[in-house]
Amino acid sequence: MPSLGADMESGVLLEWLVHPGDRVRKGDIVAVVDTAKAAVEVECFDTGVIERLLVEPGTRVPVGTALAMIATVPDPALHQARVTGAGPAGEPAQAAGRTAVPVTSPLVRQLAAERHIDLGSVPGTGPGGRVTRADLQAAARVVPEAPPVPDGARVRASPLARRLATELGVDLGTVAGHGPGDTVDAEDVRRAAAERLDRRSTAGLPSTADRASAMRTQIASLMARSKREIPHYYLTETVDLAAAMTWLRARNRELPVPGRLVPAALLLKAAALAIRAVPDLNGFVVDGQFTRAEAVHLGVAISLRGGGLVAPAIHDADRLALTELMAKLKDLVLRTRAGRLRRAELSDPTITVSNLGEQGVESILGVIYPPQVALVGFGTVSDRPWAIDGLLGVRPLVTVSLAADHRVTDGASGARYLLAIRQLLQRPEEL
Amino acid sequence: MKPEDMDRLIRTALREVAPDADLAQLGADADLREALGLDSLDFLRVVELLSQRTGHRIDEEDYPRLATITSATTFLSDRAAVR
Amino acid sequence: MADTTYREAIREAIREAMRRDERVFLMGEDVGPYGGAFGVSLGLLEEFGPERIRDTPLSESAFVGAGIGAALGGMRPIVEVMTVNFSLLALDQIINNAATLLHMSGGQFAVPLVIRMTTGAGRQLAAQHSHSLEGWYAHIPGLRILAPATVADARGMLWPALRCPDPVLIFEYGGLYNASGELDGGAAVDIDTAAVRRPGSDVTIIGYGGTLSTSLTAADRLADDGIDAEVVDLRTLRPLDDATLLDSVRRTHRAVIVDEGWRSGSLSAEISARITEQAFYDLDAPVARVCSAEVPIPYARHMEQAALPQPAGVVAAVRAALGRSDG
């Protein structure tokens, strides 16, 4: 069970997306885990063949528990069992279940490979506990049908089925094939996509009320830890958005609705870019030690309709064009509310932005998400009086705030960060 | 399009964007963004759906006229009449 | 509209061409008083005289070469070669001369020659008279290769072939000479595109010449099973009409090619390659081929039939492509 956030202690395995015998690659999505915040897709960290699933769907297990056995297969004769799962810090706990490779004769190894028998699972009666040919024959009788690994263990699917599977987000490894030679064909993929929809709507997911209360508990524990451990300091700055809003309106006028930007996209981009001025606001404190993050993964606090809050990440937000950032934002909000986030999005924001201004509040003094070291808040954008060149005028203003970890930065750095945001927002066309 | 059809079209779009909102309790003159807790992305999605389904262009300047069900119905009916 | 045979349709096409253009003449073995080995030119000698309906010595190389010379000299010759097997004696004339002269002369000399020949098996004429070698000619740049599979194409392809500035080879399928069909007037047809002979949605069966009827028969049987097959007739073997083929496969997602040539290095191989090159991500099953057994075509009737593509084989290939097991 991987750690999907600093505050996560356990998770419920909702669904396996792979079966024993399936070949998996590093980065493949293999399971769905419920973390009380959301159903999260879990990626595999190793490449090999799934030998055994250790945890039944619907079971709650602590972080670090082995979920499945993966056999790595550089040499099929040396099936090497590994345990998938991850330690609390998100580090793969790959050493945990590794079995020693038994010393055997080449003949025995070849026979084992031919019969798809994992030598590590065969008790040896030979000298020094070696597996002998007789042991192997005994094992073969016990498990006559070890799941045959098909040639290359690649899913056999038609090109059209592969294309459709990508488009419909169907994992081909979970689809039974009814095409020629039992390959997966387009019809199989369409059926699987339809069945998945059915399952989603009727699956025994934790009830909304359960999830809401679990989430409440988690937020409570995380925020209490933040306030207990992190010496926060707060800065606010009011920024004139006249240039930004004018530019945005002119741009949106040219575009159909789906292409339009919301002001939040500008604010997020500015918050991400300003990190370059003060990189020490971007990173983690682990065991009292600060590590600066290389990339800017901007956590975006998204409120859920049923109550509660999730802050998944927009990766490399400082490098995205505004339109890309807007598209990612839309997608992230949609998937967050549908409860379908990816593991990396939940576990690795490097700084978080709260945009409570959407709800009409003037400013936010936020609580930092540990182990991050800063939280940026944007209040509502509203027309207010503002002095310009010695005269009073009415301008669209936003109050930007920063809550930062005093163990890592001081007020002066924080001030530079807010200044950078202000300057960036005066030149919206360069964002 | 009759006003009641327009009303249904607007409520359908709202239900899609905020599936858990209680639309039955939503008054015709309530501020939609406040009553339903729509953020700017939600609202943009509502605009997108209404624009698609009525075939009318909706500019940012028009957004204030989509504030309540009543005003949105009037606005979209006006647009239909112009065409 | 009267029923016309494939043989009569070709004869009518020759007659019309000879009447319309005095540069057109027919030559070949026994095309005169005998009326041609397959009876195509019966009666033409009487109408047009020995100057324009010319019997030739039994030397394919010589009379095809003479045809090339006549074409270069401004005539519009129709050369009849009895079967494609015999055309091998004229390979040098066809491939080294007819197909290349336009290129070798820097665009000065076109060769507006039409060569007609019979192809295909099924009439117990044994291995030296029954092979389907049109795929070889379809390999050669500079040639245009036609394969009329219907009475209308037999009637309508000759005139546009004679108007074509390049050498055109017309492959008449021997088993079709007695086939009849309705002929509506006899308008010239295009010689550029393939034709969808039967629309369908589940699989594309691709045939030409003699295998069109095999394909259509198979499609009828498949319809009884609820399988809706589309049948495409290639019509022109070179240049291949990729657009029509690919459009069909992109709709049905499956292709079965029926070719009386042998599988290895064949026209069916070329078509299969083009489909996988250009429509790979639309394919829902491997492209399948139904071809002749890789043996010289046997003489004995039951063996000959066993060696040739049959509707049952096409039905089986289609069912396999759809993942339906037989039985």
Compare CB distances from B44 to A260, A303, A359 and report the shortest one's residue: A260
* CA gap A162, A185 in Å, rounded: 8
pLDDT at A170 over 50: yes
Which residue's structure tokens are 């498990």? A143
**What pLDDT, in 10s, does the model give residues B20-66?**
777 778 888 888 888 887 888 888 888 888 888 888 888 888 888 88
* CA gap C88, C86 in Å, rounded: 5
| Average pLDDT of span A238-265 | 88
Contact A42, A343 (CB under 8 A): yes
* CA gap A337, A39 in Å, rounded: 10
Pick the CATH number of B3-19+30-82 from 3.40.1180.10, 1.10.1200.10, 1.10.3720.10, 1.10.10.10: 1.10.1200.10
* CA gap A105, A113 in Å, rounded: 12
pLDDT at C326 over 70: no
Query: Do the interacting molecules here have an ipTM over 0.90?
Result: no
CB contact under 8 A, B59 and A333: no
Q: Does B22 touch chain A (CB under 8 A)?
A: no
Q: How far is C321 from chain A (nearest CA, A)?
A: 6
CB contact under 8 A, A160 and C283: yes
* CA gap B65, B49 in Å, rounded: 16
Query: Would you state the structure tokens that stand for residue C147, as one six-digit string?
Result: 């394969």
Contact C286, C186 (CB under 8 A): no
pLDDT of residue A95: 38
Q: Does A183 touch chain C (CB under 8 A)?
A: yes
| Average pLDDT of span A398-415 | 93
| Average pLDDT of span C215-244 | 96
CB contact under 8 A, A178 and C283: no
Contact A321, A373 (CB under 8 A): no
Q: How far is B63 from chain A (nearest CA, A)?
A: 12
CATH topology of domain A232-430: Chloramphenicol Acetyltransferase (3.30.559)
| Average pLDDT of span A272-280 | 92
Contact A105, A128 (CB under 8 A): no
| Average pLDDT of span C90-100 | 97
pLDDT of residue A102: 53
| Average pLDDT of span C255-278 | 97
pLDDT at C20 over 90: yes
pLDDT of residue A120: 72
Provide CATH code, domain C195-321.
Answer: 3.40.50.920
Closest CA to A418 of A399, A405, A431: A399
* CA gap C20, A279 in Å, rounded: 87
C3-182: CATH architecture: 3-Layer(aba) Sandwich (3.40)
pLDDT of residue A73: 61
| Average pLDDT of span C283-296 | 96
Which residue's structure tokens are 């040098």? C92
| Average pLDDT of span A41-56 | 84
**What pLDDT, in 10s, does the model give residues A351-378?**
999 886 667 788 888 899 888 999 999 9
Which residue's structure tokens are 């345990």? A83
Q: Does A245 touch chain C (CB under 8 A)?
A: no
Share of chain C above pLDDT 70, in %: 98
pLDDT of residue C119: 97
* CA gap A412, C179 in Å, rounded: 96
Query: Would you state the structure tokens that stand for residue C103, as one six-digit string?
Result: 């290129």
* CA gap A28, A409 in Å, rounded: 38
pLDDT at A86 over 60: no
pLDDT at A143 over 80: no
Compare CB distances from A358 to B40, B48, B57 and report the shortest one's residue: B40
| Average pLDDT of span A63-90 | 57
Residues of C serving a catalytic function are 60, 129
Compare CB distances from A185 to C282, C285, C320 and report the shortest one's residue: C285
Query: Would you state the structure tokens that stand for residue A1, as one six-digit string?
Result: 């069970």
pLDDT at B68 over 80: yes
| Average pLDDT of span A98-121 | 67
> What residue ranges do the domains of chain A occupy?
232-430
pLDDT of residue A206: 52
Query: What chains are in contact with B, requiring at least 3 Cβ pairs below 8 Å?
Result: A
* CA gap A275, A413 in Å, rounded: 11
Burial of C96 (0-12, 13-18, 19+ CB in 10 A): exposed
More confident residue, C124 or A141: C124
List all residues 6 or more positions away from C96 whose beta carbon is below 8 Å from its beta carbon. Answer: none
| Average pLDDT of span A85-104 | 44
Which residues on B lie below 8 Å from A359 (Cβ)? 37, 39
**Cβ neighbours around A149 below 10 Å, total:** 15
CB contact under 8 A, B48 and A249: no
Nearest CA in chain B to A257: B48
* CA gap C30, C37 in Å, rounded: 7
DSSP state of A124: P
Compare CB distances from A161 to C284, C320, C321 and report the shortest one's residue: C284
pLDDT of residue A357: 61
What is the sign of the dihedral through the CA atoms of B66, B70, B74 and B80? positive
Which residues face A377 on adjacent strands? Answer: A354, A401
| Average pLDDT of span C147-162 | 96
List all residues 6 or more positions away from A351 whose beta carbon is below 8 Å from its beta carbon. Answer: A271, A275, A281, A282, A296, A297, A298, A299, A372, A373, A374, A375, A376
List all residues 6 or more positions away from A243 whose beta carbon is below 8 Å from its beta carbon. Answer: A425, A426, A427, A428
List all residues 6 or more positions away from B8 whose beta carbon is below 8 Å from its beta carbon. Answer: none
More confident residue, A156 or C153: C153
What are the backbone angles phi and psi of residue C258, rounded to the nearest 5°?
A: -115, 120
pLDDT at C157 over 80: yes
Q: Which of A123-127, A337-341, A361-365, C243-247 has the highest mean pLDDT?
A: C243-247
Which one of A158, A164, A189, A191 makes the best mutation probe of the C interface by having the most chain C beta carbons within 10 Å? A158
pLDDT at A90 over 90: no
CA-CA-CA-CA dihedral for A154, A159, A163, A166, to nearest 10 = -10
Strands in A48-53's sheet, in edge-to-edge order, are A23-24, A48-53, A68-72, A80-84
Rounded to whole angstroms, what are the CA distances from C286 to A160, A189, C33, C40, C276?
11, 17, 52, 41, 9
Alpha helix positions (H), chain C: 6-20, 44-48, 60-72, 84-87, 91, 101-104, 134-137, 151-156, 158-163, 210-224, 242-252, 267-279, 301-307, 311-321
C-beta contacts of A71-75 below 8 A and 24+ residues apart: A71/A118, A72/A46, A72/A47, A72/A48, A73/A23, A73/A48, A73/A49, A73/A153
Triad A201, A204, A208: Cα angle to 5°: 80
More confident residue, C254 or C327: C254
Q: Which H or E element spans position A17? A: none
DSSP state of B41: H
CB contacts < 8 Å between A and C, how many?
36
Rounded to whole angstroms, what are the CA distances from A419 to A320, A355, A411, A416, A424?
21, 18, 12, 5, 9
**Ranges A260-264, A308-312, C78-82: which has the least confidence:** A308-312
Q: Which positions in chain C have a beta carbon within 8 angstroms of at least one beta carbon in chain A?
A: 253, 280-286, 320-323
pLDDT at A273 over 80: yes
Mean pLDDT score across all residues of chain A: 79
Give the gyration radius of chain C's Cα atoms.
20
pLDDT at A75 over 60: no
Q: Which H or E element spans position A265? A: helix A263-274
